[in-house]
RNA sequence: GCCCCCAUCGUCUAGUGGCCUAGGAUACCGGCUUUUCAUGCCGGCGACAGGGGUUCGAGUCCCCUUGGGGGUGCCA
């Protein structure tokens, strides 16, 4: 066990097999909080021992999204550190050295069964007794026999000889979890391609990188006993373990990338699964962090809004819950709305620009001043996607305006083209307006309402549809000022032609 | 099949034997504000999985059942 005088060192160890999953983000967050709270060290380690599943570019994507979230690392890729390399694929010599140590000590042995043979054994075992445990050969193959087999070109793996005693994992979230000796099997620690398996690499790296706390998902709970056995065999200390609840979809299924493909096939909008999905969809990192922090953790008081700093202050491993959580996007949306209203403008502006950039939106060309005005004009928006929907019309050519048929029907054509008629009158007035700013425009609209003895909506909506093509835009004075007089008049005239056409 | 973990409103959760006629948030429903969409404000609906114990007293402790999740990979 690490002593209290040791500096806290935690790690997040993603595999470069795709984008950063939202569950992975929470794992990173909790580890990050443990490190920051204790003034410790956050290590990022890349578990790239599975060559078959390696996805090109995914590392950069993971790093990029982590940075976007504001979750930094002290050691790891692009940060360096004294315990590198931080890519497991570059640590083969190290693993081999410890592998040999185990082999020499008789705590691991070569095994020669092929995957096909094992499959067959599993099948038979399943039929006969329901479960399969690798039967330890007696006597164990010698090192010489193993090496001979390798020279003959046979596929050879290394298995860990499990001890004949119960193992208790002390989990700081779940309590003690004991597995009896008869439940262990001699699992593989080195694949036939020479790469270590996850278990072995993880244990060696955690020890060598002086990791003191291992916070990971509950799906790893059963692995812990293997890891503890390995630690004993190698003479390594056991870190403090904490197995966190798992995050699921609302319907109880796993949040998986495949949900996206399924939804698309079914003609539905793909759900956000990876951090990047949320980023693209116009969510704020502050909202995401705040939301996932509360999935499986709480302070016990009624506060729900937390900045990263506040989370760091309030966080404690002891208050992580045991119950699996379901990911409720509606609640996230509410968090996002709150954060959009709360975030300091310069920061919000930065986030908006990121959204525009990764979506390659026309508003990329807008100045900061304009963007800031849009942010203010749309106050109360839920996501950047909503904001974009509301102001997108400002950034398209007048010729490209498309009038939503439903909006035209409801706002302009209804009641014997009442809307068109009002729009026509408005055009004349607007044409004559000299001072093209918000308040004179609003005065003009108000005056028109009075003279026509009608409600605001009856005047504002026709204009809105004419200039934006839809029923939704910022307040009408703001909308027209933002658009400019020329474009406003052009669009209204274009819209009026619709009436003639109908 | 076997092993392990978990169990409070639809959802996230508070609750560590009396403060619980179970609190907050979100969703939903209703009302108000509003030129659209949002926002905002007010109100309402809504849970201790079931059964046994222990105790003066149980959401809180124990057991069983049920339900959910995980593991049982030359994936991590």
Closest nucleotide over all strands to A171 (CA to C1'): B5
Q: Enumerate the domain spans of chain A.
A: 261-389, 398-501
Closest nucleotide over all strands to A50 (CA to C1'): B75
Closest nucleotide over all strands to A218 (CA to C1'): B70
- Quick check: helix, strand or coil at residue A162? coil
Active-site residue, A37 included: no
Joined together, the tokens standing for residue A406 give: 């439903």
Task: Give the separation between CA A314 and CA A332, rounded to whole angstroms.
Answer: 20
Task: Give the separation between CA A31 and CA A43, rounded to whole angstroms.
Answer: 9
pLDDT at position A268: 86
| CATH number, span A398-501 | 1.10.10.350
Tell me how crowded residue A474 is: count the other CB atoms within 10 A of its CB.
22
pLDDT at position A502: 53
pLDDT at position A2: 44
pLDDT at position A1: 47
pLDDT at position A5: 55
Class of domain A261-389: mainly alpha
Contact A243, A220 (CB under 8 A): yes
Task: Give the separation between CA A150 and CA A235, rounded to whole angstroms.
Answer: 28
Measure the CA angle with vertex A156, ends A153 and A158; round to 5°. Answer: 155
pTM of the model: 0.94
Cross-sheet strand order for the sheet of A157-160: A108-111, A157-160, A188-190
Say how far A324 CA is from B74 C1', in Å. 31
Tens of pLDDT, residue by residue over A213-232, are 999 999 999 999 999 999 99
C-alpha distance across the termini of chain A, in Å? 81
Say how far A217 CA is from B41 C1', in Å. 41
Q: pLDDT over 70 for what percent of chain A?
A: 98
Closest nucleotide over all strands to A475 (CA to C1'): B35
Say how far A31 CA is from B25 C1', in Å. 25
Joined together, the tokens standing for residue A274 give: 């990876």
- Quick check: helix, strand or coil at residue A382? coil
Residues in chain A predicted with pLDDT less than 70, given as ranges, are: 1-5, 500-502
Contact A241, A225 (CB under 8 A): no
- Per-position DSSP letters for A336-353, written without gaps between them: HHHHHHHS-HHHHHHHHH
Say how far A194 CA is from B71 C1', in Å. 25
Taking the C1' atom of B39, which residue's CA lies nearest?
A: A380
What ipTM did this prediction achieve? 0.95
Q: Give nucleotides in strand B with any atom < 7 A to a protein C-beta.
A: 1-8, 10-15, 23-28, 34-40, 68-76
pLDDT at position A468: 96
Phi then psi for residue A94, to 5 deg, are -65, -45
Say how far A250 CA is from B19 C1', in Å. 34
| Catalytic choice (A257, A389, A438, A494) | A257
pLDDT at position A416: 83
Taking the C1' atom of B26, which residue's CA lies nearest?
A: A331
């Amino acid at each position: 066990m690490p002593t209290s005088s040791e500096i806290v060192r935690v790690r997040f160890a993603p595999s470069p097999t795709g984008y950063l999953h939202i569950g992975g983000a929470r794992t990173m967050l909790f580890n990050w909080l443990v490190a920051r709270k204790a003034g410790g060290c956050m290590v990022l380690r890349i578990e790239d021992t599975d060559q078959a599943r390696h996805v090109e570019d995914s590392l950069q994507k993971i790093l990029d999204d982590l940075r976007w979230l504001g979750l930094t690392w002290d050691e790891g890729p692009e940060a360096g550190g004294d315990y590198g390399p931080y890519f497991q694929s570059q640590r083969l010599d190290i693993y081999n050295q410890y592998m040999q140590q185990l082999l020499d000590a008789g705590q691991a042995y070569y095994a020669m069964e092929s995957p096909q043979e094992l499959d067959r054994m599993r099948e038979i075992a399943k039929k006969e007794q329901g479960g399969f445990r690798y039967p330890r050969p007696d006597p164990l193959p010698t090192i010489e026999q193993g090496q001979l087999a390798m020279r003959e070109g046979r596929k050879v793996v290394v298995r860990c000889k499990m001890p004949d005693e119960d193992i208790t994992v002390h989990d700081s979230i779940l309590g003690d979890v004991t597995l009896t000796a008869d439940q262990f099997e001699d699992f593989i620690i080195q694949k036939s391609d020479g790469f270590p398996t996850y278990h072995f690499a993880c244990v060696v790296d955690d020890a060598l990188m002086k990791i003191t706390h291992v916070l990971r998902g509950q799906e790893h709970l059963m692995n812990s006993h293997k890891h503890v056995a390995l630690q004993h065999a190698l003479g390594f200390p056991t870190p403090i373990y904490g197995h966190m609840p798992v995050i699921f979809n609302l319907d109880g299924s796993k949040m998986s990338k495949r949900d996206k493909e399924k939804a698309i096939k079914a003609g539905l909008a793909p759900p956000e699964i990876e951090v990047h999905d949320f980023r693209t969809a116009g969510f704020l990192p502050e909202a995401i962090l705040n939301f996932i922090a509360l999935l499986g953790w709480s302070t016990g008081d009624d506060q729900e809004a937390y900045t990263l700093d506040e989370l760091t202050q309030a966080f404690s491993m002891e208050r992580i819950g045991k119950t699996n959580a379901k990911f409720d996007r509606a609640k996230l949306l509410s968090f996002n709305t709150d954060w959009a209203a709360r975030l300091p403008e310069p920061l919000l502006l930065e986030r908006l620009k990121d959204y525009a950039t990764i979506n390659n939106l026309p508003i990329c060309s807008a100045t900061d001043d304009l963007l800031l005005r849009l942010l203010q004009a749309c106050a109360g928006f839920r996501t950047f996607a909503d904001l974009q929907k509301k102001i997108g019309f400002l950034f398209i050519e007048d010729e490209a305006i498309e009038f939503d048929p439903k909006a035209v029907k409801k706002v302009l054509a209804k009641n014997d083209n009442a809307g068109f008629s009002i729009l026509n009158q408005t055009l004349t007035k607007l044409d004559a307006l000299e001072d093209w700013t918000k308040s004179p425009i609003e005065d003009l609209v108000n005056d028109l309402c009075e003279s026509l003895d009608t409600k605001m909506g009856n005047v504002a909506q026709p204009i809105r549809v004419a200039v934006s093509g839809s029923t939704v835009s910022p307040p009408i004075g703001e909308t027209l000022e933002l658009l400019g007089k020329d474009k406003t008049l052009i669009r209204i005239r274009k819209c009026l032609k619709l009436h003639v056409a109908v």
